[in-house]
Amino acid sequence: MRYWSSTFPELNRENVTIVNATLVIQETEYEENNFNALRCNLQNGQSFEFPTLDLGQVQYNSSLSYLRLGIDGNLRLYTYRANVRGNAVWTLLYTLFDRREDEGGMIFEDECQLPNRCGNFGLCEDSQCVGCPTPNGVFAWSKDCNTKSPGCNASGFKYYQLKGVNHFTVKYTAGTEPVKQSDCESNCTKDCNCMGYFYHTDNSRCWIAYELKTLTRVGNSTSLAYIKTPVT
């Protein structure tokens, strides 16, 4: 499931894909200050477009860097630093899903965008797991927070509502629109693998969720979540 997508318009058009990405260290001047900037130069198949992603400032001479996609879904960049107290070390320079605000053209995502930030199930805000949603309300989050299997028989489950909540797929997937909320719910009800659905009332857009995992609290009452739960 998609949980992140490039924000570069040059890369988000139809039939355009990244064909090359090159890490470079470039001498840079900003407000009369000189420094080495680590950048990722991208090529999208159009010979006249070369978008660049700023990844950070290198405080030392280094020509070795690598990107790693971690098991948690986070993208981290490491750069090599030699002769640190007699040792050579790899230093973490950039993390895509970070708690920092966007600054100086660098791109950061809130950790709530990571599917597994709150384990199997949880409500996330400002990179922190802040609640465990249940049919009886939102309680304190712990690693034990989870949902119960609703089963496939429509008479054996119901939905409970969460207001101001998005699924981690909502930000970077289009969903389906325009769709009536009743039709969105019907599609989830008929799908045995659907664990819940997410609906935006302002544009009648629907997302079906097959895994719940991390839900993000947003300051928008038009973002609704409906979670399946067994009838007891």
Write the DSSP assignment of 4-47 as a string of letters: -----TTTSSTT----EEEEEEEEEEETTEEEEEEEEEEE-S-T
The predicted pLDDT at position 139 comes to: 97
Q: Is the pLDDT of residue 135 over 80?
A: yes
The predicted pLDDT at position 132 comes to: 98
Q: Is the pLDDT of residue 128 over 80?
A: yes
The predicted pLDDT at position 146 comes to: 96
Cα–Cα distances in Å, from 212 out to 52, 149, 183, 204?
A: 34, 12, 20, 21
Q: How confident is the model at residue 185 (pLDDT cuts 50, 70, 90)?
A: very high
pLDDT tens across 5-26, in order? 666 555 555 655 666 777 777 7
Q: Which amino acid is at 128?
A: Q
pLDDT tens across 40-69, in order? 777 766 665 666 767 666 666 566 777 788
More confident residue, 47 or 137: 137
53 phi and psi angles, rounded to 5 deg: -110, 120
Provide the edge-to-edge strand list for the sheet that holds 196-200: 157-163, 223-230, 196-200, 205-209
Dist. CA 152–CA 47, nearest whole Å: 51
Output DSSP code: residue 112.
G
